[in-house]
Amino acid sequence: MRQGDMLPEIVLHPVFGDSVVFSAFKGKNILITFNRYVSCPLCNFRTHELLEKYDTLRSHGLLIISVYESGRETLTEYTTKEEVPFIMIADPEEYLYRQFKIQRSWWKSFTGLFHAYSAKHSPGKKLFKSSYARDGHLNRIGADFLVDTNGIVQVAYYGKFVGDHLPVSEIVEWVVKN
């Protein structure tokens, strides 16, 4: 998926609510964020970064769709206990990961150790309200997509290393402008 691409007509199966296709969100700005698995401290840190700015993002009409490799049961438990208000998608079969070409890389996972890993890992671990089993890949690299009201990808950000995502400040800036 690249900047300028139209979102494909994919059926999403949120952990809460009915199945829906991307076109149902036409008219809304969307952030689609791809994470590793629920028990990943880096992903938990990222989720909490978004939660800190959620009121601002929501007030500007941004819809957040968060995709995890974890199974539905684990993701449902996480969403409930951590009080995450996003549309949460369990994708253990990696269907969406393949559609959006979200990569796995041992090299990028290794280099992540030298890019603020401990600054995110330790706080992310402390932010958990429960513990969860790992049910995903250690070498999954995150990605974020900002999609406009017409369903066109305006920003396609593929992480350069494990734990790398589009900075929240850039998401806020984009949504305020749009």
Q: What is the pLDDT of residues 60-81, one digit of tens each?
A: 999 999 999 999 999 999 999 9
Model confidence pLDDT, tens digit, residues 82-92: 889 999 999 99
Does 41 map to a domain? yes
pTM of the entire structure?
0.95
Does 1 map to a domain? no
Query: Domain holding 116: CATH number?
Result: 3.40.30.10
Does 2 map to a domain? no
Q: What's the distance, Cα to Cα, between the start and end of the chain in Å?
A: 21
Does 136 map to a domain? yes
Does 25 map to a domain? yes
Question: Could you give the CA distance from residue 73 to residue 88 in angstroms, rounded to a whole number?
Answer: 12
Question: Could you give the CA distance from residue 58 to residue 64 in angstroms, rounded to a whole number?
Answer: 9
What pLDDT is stored for residue 113 in this prediction? 87
Does 4 map to a domain? no
Domain of 40 in residue numbering reads as 11-177
